[in-house]
Chain A
Amino acid sequence: EVQLEQSGAEVKKPGESLKMSCKGSGYSFTSNWIAWVRQKPGEGLEWMGIIYPGDSDTRYSPSFQGLVTISVDKSINTAYLQWSRLKASDTAMYYCARHGSSHEFDHWGQGTLVTVSS
Chain B
Amino acid sequence: EIVLTQSPGTLSLSPGERAALSCRASQTVSSSYLAWYQQKPGQAPRLLIYGASRRATGIPDRFSGSGSGTDFTLTISRLEPEDFAVYYCQQYAGSLFTFGPGARVEIK
Contacts and interface: CB of A to CB of B under 8 A. Distances in A.
B89 to A, nearest CB: 10
B35 A102 contact: yes
A43 to B, nearest CB: 9
Nearest to A47: B97
Contact of A108 (B45, B54, B98, B100): B45
B45 A35 contact: no
A53 B79 CA distance: 39
A105 B1 CA distance: 19
Contacts of A102: 32-33, 35, 50-51, 54
B44 A103 contact: no
B44 A95 contact: yes
Contacts of B54: 102
Contact of B47 (A35, A37, A104): A104
Contacts of A45: 37, 39, 45, 88, 90, 99, 102
Q: Name the prevailing secondary structure of the A interface residues.
A: strand
A106 B88 contact: no
B83 to A, nearest CB: 19
Given A103-B33, A104-B90, A106-B50, A59 B95 contact: yes
Contacts, number: 66
Chain B's interface size range is: 20 to 34
Interface-centre pick from A37, A61, A104 (highest chain B CB count, 10 A): A104
Interface in A68-109: 95, 97, 100, 102-109
B100 A111 contact: no
A61 B94 CA distance: 11
B67 to A, nearest CB: 15
A109 B46 CA distance: 10
30 contacts: A37-B45, A37-B99, A44-B100, A44-B101, A45-B37, A45-B90, A45-B102, A47-B90, A47-B98, A47-B99, A50-B97, A59-B95, A61-B97, A95-B44, A102-B35, A102-B54, A103-B35, A103-B92, A103-B97, A104-B33, A104-B35, A104-B56, A105-B45, A105-B90, A106-B47, A107-B47, A108-B44, A108-B46, A109-B44, A110-B44
